[in-house]
Amino acid sequence: MKTSELTAGEINAELDRVDKKLSKLCDEFIADGRGHEKPSETFLKDDALSLRYKSLSAQRYELRVEVLMRYGPNAPERLPRGFNGRKS
């Protein structure tokens, strides 16, 4: 299903899921001795941790763009009720 077809609740749940995975991934970076690494440095690498970070970041970005498209400027992190799918 396209992001534009998800309900506000589904987008919020997906954001929660991705954020939890990013948090766990951050713990893995720290355990691997890479806790100091900036995202701009991570994006230049192609190891397994970096690739997972890139994938999750892209998912989160897509969801965040959808929140902004529906709500407009200064959108909160999560969509309030009623901001469901956009018309095609």
Closest Cα partner for 82 from 70, 66, 64, 72?
A: 70
**9: Cα separation from own chain's centroid:** 15
pLDDT score recorded for residue 88? 57
Measured between alpha carbons, how far apart are the two ends of the chain, in Å?
14
| Residue indicated by tokens 């992001």 | 3
pLDDT score recorded for residue 85? 72
pLDDT score recorded for residue 1? 72
Q: List, for the chain, all residue ranges whose pLDDT scores fall below the cut of 70.
A: 87-88
What is the reported pTM?
A: 0.89
